[in-house]
Amino acid sequence: MSTRIKIGIVGAKFAGEFHGDMWKTMHNADIYAIADLDEKTRTAYKGKYSVGKDYDTYQKMLSDPDIDVIDICLPNFLHAEVAIAAMEAGKHVICEKPMATTIEDAEKVATVQKKTGRIYFYAEDWIFAPALVRAKEIIDEGGIGTLLYCKGKETHNGSHSPFAQTIKFCGGGAVVHLGIHAATFFYDLFGMPDSIVGVCTDGLDGNFVHKKMEGEDWGIGILTYTNGPRVLIEANYITTGGMDDIVEFYGTEGVLKVDMTFGNPLTVYSRNGFKYAVEKADTTKGWTKPAVNEHESLGYKDEMKHFLDCVEGSSAQQPGTTAETGLNALKIIHTLYQSNKEKKAVDL
């Protein structure tokens, strides 16, 4: 491998851009190429990020021997296919959540990772979000005693991506898209729960707001750990005012609350409005709490830095980023869906 790590991004739109913003801050990596079906997207991306090479298919990009890493920012249904092809082509992989749309596909990714020995890095940013890392330190020190109950949610007003409307393309609705952050975070803390109760809206006309979306626009899951806390995860697309990421811990000796998206020191009142406040906020007029270093506080920067350290061999991969974690997080989500369908608790 050359001294600077060469990244090939597949999918150059929303996630491709925030990954691009973060790769640009790394001292040891460059965005070497992008692949996207859409020519306009490729042209815009190349201009914005000064990328030299572009491909219309990921297959063409995989045959470029100079690329070290494939960064998958594609719609969910392509995650497994591209991860498998990339590892078989000798590339390391960093992949956006979820690992796949089906458990079978996620298992195939895990098998190919073992067979090829390539790094498969499941990119769950909550594992690296600085406030959550600090929260974990305080909990591990015994600061709030024994944990009794934890809550984690990500909610906003709906995905911008056309692929998010169709279950075939994304594997579900708000729960697989947003709830998987909390599912992965709590899996990393506590392992697999013993049982799950899930309740979701029914999709289409059965949704609260998003009547054209096949997946649910609201869902919760209660995860029971026989020898640990009760955990509530929540996801919805019915939240106005910007993306709301909240994690709370209730212990025998204290309480710990993390507000990942609005918990910053900046408060603005604006009559005129301004360009941007926080992800998915639809206005910047009136009182707002604009994000400060949004990508860093959500964990993307430390996530990508850790991935590059793993590729360079200077760091061992954190458990919360492995193929096994991606697979088990997806199992939690699918069990929540099963419980909702069967209207009963499901044991794991």
Ligand X SMILES: NC(=O)c1ccc[n+]([C@@H]2O[C@H](COP(=O)([O-])OP(=O)(O)OC[C@H]3O[C@@H](n4cnc5c(N)ncnc54)[C@H](O)[C@@H]3O)[C@@H](O)[C@H]2O)c1
Residues forming contacts to ligand X in the complex (CB under 6 A) are: 10-16, 35-38, 41, 57-58, 73-76, 78, 96-97, 125, 161, 163, 177
Q: Are strands 5-10 and 29-35 parallel, antiparallel or unpaired?
A: parallel
Smaller CB separation from ligand X, 11 or 251: 11
Smaller CB separation from ligand X, 35 or 139: 35
Tokens representing 134? 């600090």
Shortest Å, Cβ 251 to ligand X: 28
Shortest Å, Cβ 253 to ligand X: 32
Tokens representing 89? 């082509």
Smaller CB separation from ligand X, 123 or 144: 123
Bridge-partner residues for 30, per DSSP?
6
Shortest Å, Cβ 300 to ligand X: 7
Smaller CB separation from ligand X, 76 or 201: 76
Smaller CB separation from ligand X, 96 or 188: 96
Smaller CB separation from ligand X, 151 or 181: 181
Backbone angles phi and psi of 67, in degrees to 5? -80, 130
**Three-class DSSP category at 94:** strand
Residue 175 CA neighbour count, 13 Å, CB half: 32
Interacting residues of 50 by C-beta distance below 8 A, sequence separation 6+: none
**Three-class DSSP category at 242:** coil
Smaller CB separation from ligand X, 72 or 197: 72
Element (H, E) at 245: strand 244-251
Complete DSSP assignment for 284-304? -SEEE---SSHHHHTTHHHHH
Cis geometry, peptide bond prior to residue 98 (ω within 30 degrees of 0)? yes
Tokens representing 141? 């020190």
Within a 10 A sphere around the Cβ of 235, how many other Cβ atoms?
Answer: 31
Shortest Å, Cβ 113 to ligand X: 18
Shortest Å, Cβ 165 to ligand X: 11
Shortest Å, Cβ 140 to ligand X: 25
* Interaxial angle between packed helices 323-342 and 103-116, expressed in degrees from 0 to 180 and rounded to the nearest 10: 170
Smaller CB separation from ligand X, 161 or 224: 161
Alpha-carbon distance 84 to 62, whole Å?
11
Shortest Å, Cβ 205 to ligand X: 25
33 sits in the region (left: phi over 0; alpha: psi -120 to 50; else beta) called: beta
Smaller CB separation from ligand X, 87 or 298: 298
Shortest Å, Cβ 240 to ligand X: 19
Give me the count of residues in the chain. 348
Smaller CB separation from ligand X, 83 or 311: 83
Check: CB of residue 100 under 8 Å from CB of residue 109.
yes
Q: Are strands 53-55 and 92-95 parallel, antiparallel or unpaired?
A: unpaired
Nearest CA among 58, 63, 65, 71 for reference residue 29: 71
